[in-house]
Structure 1
Amino acid sequence: MTELWQLSAAQTATAIGLKQASASEVARAALARLDAVNPALNAVVDCNPEDVLVQAAAIDARLAAGGTVRPLEGVPVTIKINVDQKGYATSNGLRSKADLIATSNNPVVEGFLAAGAVLLGRTNTPAFSARYFTDNQLFGPTKNPRDPALTPGGSSGGAAAATAAGIGCIGHGNDIGGSVRYPAYACGIHGLRPGLGRVATFNETGPDRSIGFQLMSVQGPLARTVHDVRLAFGAMARRDIRDPWYFEAPEPADTPRLAAFCAHPEGIDTAPEVEAALRDAAARLRDAGWTVVELDAIPPLKEASRIMHKLWVADAPERILAAAEAEGDPGAIFSMKGAIDWVGPVSLTEFGDTLTRRASLVRDWARFFEDWPVLLLPPSSCLPFAVDADLKNGFEWLTERQYFMAGPPAIGMPAMTVSTGLSGRAPVGVQILAGRMREDLCLAAGEAIAARGTPPAPIDPLTV
């Protein structure tokens, strides 16, 4: 018999709408699942069960009074600890912000609430949300439910681990260099990085961030089914005037079923298991009736990755590194110092030139997507990293394996990771890119690929 916590978001909302289950019953099942598996994962680090049950009871009362069923009615959703949720700390994994209590909701939170979701708990992130690994001095490490020897990814590692283990149907995350897509890959689920401006965001607890962050940081959902990712994106992509980058995209006019894939752009080497998963995804897409062509070259990824890192740290390197050193978190210091050293000193003129070059790359990629509406790439050049592999192997070692993650944010276009299976215990999958405002193409291709495999089901965490 399927337990309530095992249902997808779509199944949960349907069951509640048909009165096959109440929101309160779903919430109690979600809390019980959290209690059962979270101690082994440390994925959810802030949860108020009484608040969860109050939210669910309000939904039941609303439906009993004749309210219409919303897309995420009663669906348990987790929120990452680096966005504002009223009454909870926006700590971002920092001891210095452990008591920074939000008095208003980030637009993402408002979107989930408006769609009928129940906010189940808040998920872990590395300090400053600055690593492909999830650990901090405030809450400690999050474990990958598929294999505790592997990273759950970062920075939305808590969201991915929780969702993979059935703690909620949808996890909220954010992505500046892979922080939605890489945890989804590492934990064997799906994650969408929307294009710049498609999902509004604003934290009243903190000042506006530097221009590099503003150009690349986006909010996105993680889920066990691509359809649930679609539902979550619909809830998140709603108007909010607090975000100056937000815009409402027109409805897509068509869905061209034409895609390309590239296994080794710019000579980037990929592990055999990674390339096999990419070719498998291309074959699945062909089986679904798409035309899929292999390309030898695409617009620059390595340069885009360097631009991403330069925009991340170069406009305030001393301030960024000082904040990491004040927190005393080894992973944050490693990531920030590593990025600063890798980029090297950047003058004001060079910083301006970098922004100018970014515009040229955006143009090159926009032209590419006019010819090839969908592009399949590896999520990473290797299988998910071992825990703390960055600290053991060095920053340059890491960046050379993550061009596929770090390059796309510099161009501001949508990208999605779709899980396609396992290689031993390690998840494998594919990354899907599309042109500006075409998240729908990422989702359509993702649904076609995922439909020809076994959907990721909630799993019990492996502890050895």
Structure 2
Amino acid sequence: MTEQLWCLSACELAEGIRKQRFSCEAVMVSVTARMAAHNPRLNAVVDDYTEEALAEAREADRVLASGAEVGELHGVPITIKSNIDVAGKRTPNGLPHFADLIATEDSPVVSNLKKAGAIIIGRTNTPELSMRMTTDNPLHGRTLNPWEENASPGGSSGGASSAAAAGFGPIHHGNDIGGSLRFPAFNCGLATIKPSFGRVPAYLPSAPAERGMLAQLMSVQGVICREVRDVRLGTRIIAQSDPRDPFWMPVPFDGWPQEAEPLRVGVTTETYGHPIHPEIKAAVERVADFLTDAGYAVEPISTPSVDDA
């Protein structure tokens, strides 16, 4: 079964490890072998931590065998985008100038994932300063889309989306201001969500100063996954508190208790003159039907025009 473990979701891997159906090391061998076979072509992961990850996986197996309490993501392989800090590792953010910028402490997302027991297998590519909708830079080069090499994996979290689609682990960190989680996920047929402001703590210890207010208010941390349930799990893990972010909000992950009335959901397929493929429109309508069947109050809405904005 070792060969197929890379196919499993984070939820399946976490449960299988806890119930000792397979070992953390077996999972890591499967995922890193998959990465070794395909990453040279895709260039999704630009810093490979395979040897460290295998050692951490063996230690994770020893901890589990001792009967100690373990985190929800114990032994699960993940990647981190190369624009936030991992202690002892570089944070180049696509720039040759930052190629040797070594972080002294973890960013909050990394800290929360480590506390949950996740094991980082590498850092994913990003454009310079993570500010483009495709993923290419003079330091690491271009990242390819696993489905079609002539199509972009998106950006700026294109390394994360390429790694997720290729099977280099089930959970891949990214971030988003104007689509940097959503566009790559769309391009590679994946799942993600842009969390609300204040939901996930953010802080970059290696930065000489805090980001400008616009970036602080719009940039959020998140995950890209192959399955929606992994997005939910990963987002809940990274949304744990961190005192270094004063904007983090202590709100329940599942929201406040609801009144008797069902939750309202607005649905639109308007594109204001821009073509929309019939399959995409049909998919949105299917989702609306699913939500209606699940008890939500689904209503058609009109959204402001992007052109007017």
2:79 equivalent in structure 1 = 78
> How many equivalent pairs are there?
302
- Structure 2 residue matching 1:62: 3-state secondary structure: helix
1:301 offset after TM fit, Å?
5.1
Cα drift, residue 155 of structure 1:
0.4
Displacement of 1:148 in angstroms is 1.3
Measure, in 1, the Cα distance between the counterparts of 2:82 and 2:14. Answer: 25
Instruction: Point out the structure with max Rg over C-alpha.
Output: 1
Larger helix proportion of the pair? 1
Residue in 2 aligned with 1:224?
A: 226
Contact 1:164–1:187 at 8 Å: present in 2 too? yes
2:193 pairs with 1:154? no
Does the C-alpha gap of structure 1 residues 301 and 106 become closer, same or farther in structure 2, counting only changes over 3 Å? Answer: farther
RMSD after superposition: 1.8
On the 8 A contact 2:70/2:116 being kept in 1, the answer is no
TM-score (norm 2): 0.92
- Asked if residue 215 in structure 1 is aligned to residue 221 in structure 2, the reply is no
Q: List gaps (5 residues or longer) in structure 1.
A: 307-464
Report the residue type matching 2:257 in the other structure: A
Q: 1:427-446 maps to which residues of 2 (within 5 A)?
A: none
Structure 1 residue 275: Cα displacement: 2.5
CA distance in structure 2 between the partners assigned to 1:257 and 1:135 by the alignment: 41
Quote the offset at 1:289 in angstroms: 4.2
1:61-460 counterparts in 2 under 5 A? Answer: 61-206=62-207, 207-250=209-252, 251-254=255-258, 256-264=262-270, 267-273=272-278, 274-295=280-301, 297-298=302-303, 300=304, 302=306, 306=309
Counterparts in 2 of 1:139 and 1:26: CA distance versus 1, 3 Å:
same
How far residue 203 of structure 1 moved from its aligned partner, in angstroms, is 1.2
- The more displaced of 47-56 and 281-290 is 281-290
TM-score (norm 1): 0.62
- Deviations along 1:165-193, one digit per CA (max 9) or x if unpaired, are 11011000000100011111110010111
Q: Summarize the Cα distance change of 1:268–1:194 in structure 2 as closer, same or farther, 3 Å threshold.
A: farther
Q: Is the 8 A contact 1:263 1:270 kept in 2?
A: no
User: Partners in 2 of 1:75 and 1:270 — Cα distance?
Assistant: 40
Q: Distance in 1 between matches of 2:49 and 2:274?
A: 46
Where 1:212 maps in the other structure, the secondary structure is: helix
Secondary structure (helix, strand or coil) at the match of 1:25 reads helix
Q: Using the alignment, how far apart are the partners of 1:64 and 1:276 within structure 2?
A: 49
Helix, strand or coil at the partner of 1:247:
coil
| Structure 2 letter corresponding to 1:272 | H
Secondary structure of the residue aligned to 2:78 is strand
> 1:262: Cα distance to partner?
1.3
Greater RCO between the two (CA within 8 Å, min separation 6)?
1
CA shift in 2, pair 1:301/1:100, >3 Å? farther
Match of residue 401 from structure 1: none
Q: Assess if the C-alpha contact under 8 Å between 1:156 and 1:183 holds in 2.
A: yes
- Shift in Å at residue 36 of structure 1? 1.0
* Unmatched segments (≥5 aa) in structure 2: none
Determine the C-alpha separation between the residues in 2 that align with 1:269 and 1:254: 37
Following the alignment from structure 1 to structure 2, what is the Cα–Cα distance between the partners of residues 186 and 76? 23
**How far apart in 1 are the matches of 2:273 and 2:191?**
24
**Residues 88-125 of structure 1: CA distance to partner in whole angstroms, max 9, x if unpaired?**
11000100000001111001000101111111110001
Distance 2:306 2:168 in 1: 36
CA distance in 1, matches of 2:40, 2:101: 25
Q: How many Å separate the matches in 1 of 2:86 and 2:187?
A: 26
Give the whole-Å Cα distance in 1 for the aligned partners of 2:241 and 2:273.
Answer: 39
